[in-house]
């Protein structure tokens, strides 16, 4: 299963002087998706050949060999590889890696100095680990999913209330039995809540909690969740515990998580824009983001997923910029072209202890492409 350690290892792969061809292919069984696979891959590879024509001969030959190898393999790609596949090749440097992806991905081919991992990073962030609890009066089922796959499933049962025979008993006795049943249900909710707290705090934890069941039991469990568990509540759904399966539970959980994500992204982007409007603590725009990242001033970089913008890195001062000339405007050093400035910015932010958030849903950030929360307030420089 795809994880951060694999991505980190991939990023650290040293291709030396040779370029790496990174290819992402969508395998989601949508209309025509698999039938058109070979022509789609051929199109991507044709673009790669055209764009690598200007490379020096050894690099060009390495890419040409990668394109040939991939062309030979086109027939191999099917849905058994997951919803998508990522391939990293460099015949010159001896790199040949392939990853099955947990979700659909946009087709693309990128030639860069190292493996192009930004779509993988976005995917890891998107497919968080969910804990899904289906709560009944006596039974609680706890499912844990990560990267869209079921990891564990456990069931908790609390003792059954003995069926009472009300015939001939006074109203008092009936009330007593009912109170006892409510007390037992409350105890069951607490047991499940305690188990969730335990899972959240140990054993890898989970990022989101989603609760299903009938309204009354869902409300009963939510009432007794410890604060740190309640803090990661993403939403609830109605399901009949008697007929559910892990697949139907995952279906509900995906929908709740997607709705939660839209809302969470909207809130993050709104906060970013507010911070930028109040001045000093945040910036908006790709070029502005480059400046802040180059100064190591970024705490959180927000980027619109799926957008790529070519740019350059200065070989002298190591500045990342959207400029595409051959000479650095600051130090006069040589600029080296990069296919995606945002990828380089993300890498720099991570390597300097900051965080990167991919925003998947189109919103205000799409118009400015990137934004950042800053580590410190920059001193005002009087431009006069």
Assess 333 for contact with Zn ion (CB under 5 A). yes
Assess 331 for contact with Zn ion (CB under 5 A). yes
Assess 322 for contact with Zn ion (CB under 5 A). no
Cα Rg of the chain, angstroms: 26
Position among 328, 345, 349, 372 found at the interface with Zn ion (CB under 5 A): 328
Instruction: State the number of binding residues for Zn ion (CB under 5 A).
Output: 8
| Interface stretch with Zn ion, choices 20-28, 163-171, 319-327, 356-364 (CB under 5 A) | 319-327
Q: Give me 127's structure tokens.
A: 């497919």
Q: For residue 314, give the 3-state DSSP assignment.
A: strand
Number of helices followed by number of strands (H, E) in the chain: 11, 16
Q: What ranges in the chain are assigned the alpha helix state H? A: 4-11, 37-51, 57-73, 118-126, 171-201, 215-223, 227-230, 246-278, 286-294, 341-351, 364-368
Position among 238, 270, 317, 377 found at the interface with Zn ion (CB under 5 A): 317
Question: What span, in angstroms and rounded, lies between the C-alpha atoms of 50 and 281?
Answer: 43
Cα–Cα distances in angstroms (integers) from residue 348 to residues 299, 355, 361, 383, in the given order: 11, 10, 24, 28
Tell the smallest beta-carbon distance from residue 331 to Zn ion (Å). 3
Position among 316, 334, 362, 367 found at the interface with Zn ion (CB under 5 A): 316
Assess 285 for contact with Zn ion (CB under 5 A). no
| Interface stretch with Zn ion, choices 61-69, 173-181, 276-284, 315-323 (CB under 5 A) | 315-323
Tell the smallest beta-carbon distance from residue 20 to Zn ion (Å). 24
| Interface stretch with Zn ion, choices 169-177, 254-262, 327-335, 339-347 (CB under 5 A) | 327-335
Question: What span, in angstroms and rounded, lies between the C-alpha atoms of 110 and 35?
Answer: 23
Q: How many CA atoms lie within 13 A of 120 on its CB side?
A: 25
Looking at the Cβ atoms of 200 and 319, the one nearer to Zn ion is 319
Looking at the Cβ atoms of 294 and 304, the one nearer to Zn ion is 294
Q: Give me 381's structure tokens.
A: 């420089």
Assess 334 for contact with Zn ion (CB under 5 A). no
* Residues binding Zn ion (CB under 5 A): 314, 316-317, 319, 328, 330-331, 333
């Amino acid at each position: 299963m795809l994880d951060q350690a694999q991505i980190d290892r991939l990023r650290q792969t040293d291709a030396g002087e040779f370029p790496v061809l990174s290819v992402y292919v969508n395998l989601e069984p949508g209309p025509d998706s698999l039938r058109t696979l070979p022509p789609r891959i051929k199109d991507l590879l044709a673009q790669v050949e055209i764009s690598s024509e200007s490379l020096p001969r050894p690099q060009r030959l390495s890419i040409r060999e990668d394109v040939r190898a991939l062309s030979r393999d086109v027939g191999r790609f099917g849905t058994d590889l997951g919803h998508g596949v990522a391939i990293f090749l460099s015949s010159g440097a001896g790199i040949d890696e392939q990853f099955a992806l947990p979700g659909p991905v946009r087709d693309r081919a990128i030639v860069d100095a190292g493996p192009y991992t930004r779509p993988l990073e976005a995917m890891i962030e998107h497919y968080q680990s969910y804990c899904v609890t289906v709560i009944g009066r006596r039974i609680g089922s706890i499912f844990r999913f990560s990267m869209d796959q079921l990891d564990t499933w456990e069931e908790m049962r609390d003792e059954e209330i003995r069926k009472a025979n009300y015939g001939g008993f006074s109203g008092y006795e009936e009330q007593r039995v009912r109170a006892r049943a409510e007390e037992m249900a409350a105890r069951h909710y607490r047991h499940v809540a305690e188990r969730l707290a335990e899972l959240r705090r140990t054993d890898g934890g989970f990022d989101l909690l989603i609760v299903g069941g009938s309204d009354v039991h869902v409300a009963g469990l939510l009432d007794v969740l410890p604060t740190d568990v309640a803090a990661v509540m993403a939403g609830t759904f109605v399901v009949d515990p008697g007929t559910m399966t892990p697949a139907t539970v995952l279906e509900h959980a995906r929908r709740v998580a997607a709705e939660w994500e839209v809302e969470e992204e909207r809130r993050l982007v709104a906060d970013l824009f507010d911070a930028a409007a109040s001045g000093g603590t945040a910036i908006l725009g790709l070029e502005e983001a480059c400046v802040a990242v180059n100064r190591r001033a970024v705490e959180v970089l927000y980027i619109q997923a799926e957008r790529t913008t070519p740019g350059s890195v200065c070989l002298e001062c190591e500045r990342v910029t959207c400029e595409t000339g051959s000479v650095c405007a600051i130090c006069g050093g040589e600029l080296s072209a990069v296919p995606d400035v945002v990828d380089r910015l993300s890498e720099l932010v991570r390597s300097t202890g900051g965080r990167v958030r991919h925003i998947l849903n189109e919103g205000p950030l799409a118009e400015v492409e990137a934004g950042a929360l800053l580590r410190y307030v920059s001193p005002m420089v009087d431009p006069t």
